[in-house]
Amino acid sequence: MEEATLEKLVSLCKRRGFIYPGSEIYGGLSGTWDYGPLGIALKNNVKNIWWRMNVLERDDMYGVDAAILMNPKAWEASGHVAGFSDPLVECKKCKRRFRADQVEEKCPECEGAFGAVRQFNMMFKTHIGAAEDEASVSYLRPETAGGIFVNFKNIIDSFHPKLPFGVGQIGKAFRNEIAPRDFLFRTREFEQMEIEYFVRPGEWEKKFEEWRDEMYRYMEAVGIPRALVHELEVPDGERAHYSKRTIDFEFDFPFGRKELYGLAYRTDFDLAAHSKASGVELRMTDEEGKEPVMPHVIEPSFGVDRTILALLVSAYTEDELGGEKRTYLKLNAAVAPIKAAVFPLLKNKPPLVAKAREIYSELKKTVPQIMWDDNGNIGKRYRRQDEIGTPACITVDFETLENDTVTVRSRDTGEQMRVSVSELSSIVR
Ligand code: GAP
């Protein structure tokens, strides 16, 4: 997909109610996007599949939903206050600011010279309570991981797990990115799906490999094409301060090959640092009669919004069907916001409308993501559903009234098959 097509995708997302620019009526707010009705449906599918595969279906995983605001001491201990920064340069002439690693020697706006590179901390600062002084400073979390580490002891005390085990969390994270860009790719407010998987120090390599496979399994489940994903072994000196090994899973976005997800070996960096700073013992007894151990951590980290961008980018298709150009989203049925649409062939024939309503209501009881459409002709309705990625369109026609069958039309091929109404529940899921 070319960059120009990303523009078309942004426009489709707005027009059809997937994603809108944040605070648009006030001219927007850089680095923020709002999910509309179809966007939130897609996003919930992405998150639910993740939660199901990585938390619910596993006996070794626990879920949490920690507060976004945390005691600032947690971010001091984790190294984020001192080290979570990007290199910033300011143009001496026009005063615009850029990420130093994303520009050449001169300002791209006015050719002015840059001042010295300085480190810019990306955490959003805020104040807790009425006093706006240094003592009340806190931060919006820059990664969900922090909320997992501070609850490590709580999970141990409540559930007494044995190593290895993990904790998963889905939630918002905030970064004051110097240069938000490329639609959902780099934003200032985004969502992460993260796992901190606690292991015995000697088994980290084995567990790292297992999670690498699990990450591919998730990509396959939501429909991220394997051929567009590439691994990058992040070299020494370029990894986050807490990591001894990181693989970035990069995706071929229209604007280049960029990070989609990360898999890191965080050693015992976080637990040791939180234990030291809080004074709370975070080693755990793994085997009776043995010395307590400080677990090491494997961290598979997934961006929700980058998942959605990767899905939309790979689903966006322009083709010709029946001699007409069309645009459609070839989304995997598991993530498609609408699973099926139900139409009466003609909206001015009450028996057709009544039968279609009956089928619609019945399907909706088991699959709520069903849409009703009786506007315009059938061809237009198909096009509208294609554009939002609905895998199947069900049409109630005169034959339905005679033999209780309907046509089911496939989004990808445009082909129709005639099936009995009783079969629909096994087709629409
Ligand atoms: N806990 C590890 C961590 O936060 P990261 O590589 O900084 O590692 C993990 O972020 C994932 O979060 C990324 O792979 C990406 O999917 C997503 N992410 C990070 N920054 C983002 C941003 N500014 N906008 C959208 N997604 C972002």
pLDDT tens per residue across span 314-346: 999 999 988 899 999 999 999 999 999 999 999
Distances (CA, A) of 71 to 65, 109, 127: 16, 40, 11
CA–centroid distance, residue 331 to ligand 1 (Å): 23
Whether ligand 1 lies within 6 angstroms of the CB of 397 is answered as: no
Q: How far apart are CA 120 and CA 174, in angstroms?
A: 15
**How far, in Å, CA of 79 to CA of 65, rounded?**
22
Sheet holding 392-396, edge to edge: 370-372, 340-344, 392-396, 405-410, 416-420
Q: Is the CB of 143 under 6 A from ligand 1?
A: yes
Does the C-beta of 86 come closer than 6 Å to ligand 1? no
Could you report how far apart the first and last alpha carbons of the chain are, in Å? 30
Half-sphere exposure for 57 (CA within 13 Å, toward CB): 9
Q: What is the mean pLDDT of residues 353-368?
A: 97
Taking the centre of ligand 1 as the mean of its atom positions, its distance from the CA of residue 325, in whole angstroms, is 37
| pLDDT class of 289 with cuts at 50, 70, 90 | confident
Question: Is 17 strand, coil or helix?
Answer: coil
Q: The tokens of 315 are what?
A: 């689903």
More confident residue, 362 or 83: 362
Q: Is the CB of 262 under 6 A from ligand 1?
A: yes
Q: 305 CB less than 6 Å from ligand 1?
A: yes
Q: Is the pLDDT of residue 44 over 70?
A: yes
Ligand 1 centre to CA of 67 (Å) is: 18
> Is the CB of 144 within 6 Å of ligand 1?
no
Residue 359 one-letter amino acid: I
- Going by alpha carbons, the residue nearest to atom 16 of ligand 1 is 303
Average the pLDDT over 53-73 and give the result. Answer: 98
Q: Is 196 in the pocket of ligand 1 (CB under 6 A)?
A: no
As beta bridge partners, residue 301 has 194, 262
Dist. CA 58 → ligand 1 center (Å): 24
What is the best residue among 84, 139, 143, 244 to mutate for testing ligand 1's pocket, by most ligand atoms within 8 Å of CB? 143
| 161 CB within 6 A, ligand 1 | no
CA–centroid distance, residue 289 to ligand 1 (Å): 40
The Cα–Cα gap between 241 and 269 comes to: 9
Q: Look up tokens 């691994």; give the residue.
A: 231
Q: By alpha-carbon position, which residue is closest to atom 22 of ligand 1?
A: 186
Q: Please tell me the pTM assigned to this model.
A: 0.96
Of the candidate ranges 16-25, 35-44, 87-96, 216-225, the one whose mean pLDDT is the lowest: 87-96
301, 308, 309, best to mutate for ligand 1 pocket (most atoms within 8 Å of CB)? 301
Please tell me the predicted confidence (pLDDT) of residue 429. 83
- Token representation of residue 423: 């079969």
pLDDT for 266 equals: 97
State how far the Cα of 40 lies from the Cα of 17, in Å rounded to an integer.
Answer: 9
pLDDT of 164-186, one tens digit each? Answer: 999 999 999 999 999 999 999 99
Amino acid at 317: T
Asked whether residue 223 carries a pLDDT value surpassing 80, the answer given is: yes
* DSSP-H helix ranges across 123-246: 145-149, 152-159, 204-222
Closest residue by CA, ligand 1 atom 9: 301
Q: Which residue stretches of 180-268 are H helix?
A: 204-222
User: Ligand 1, residues 178, 189, 195, 259: which to mutate, most atoms within 8 A of Cβ?
Assistant: 259
| pLDDT score for 3 | 57
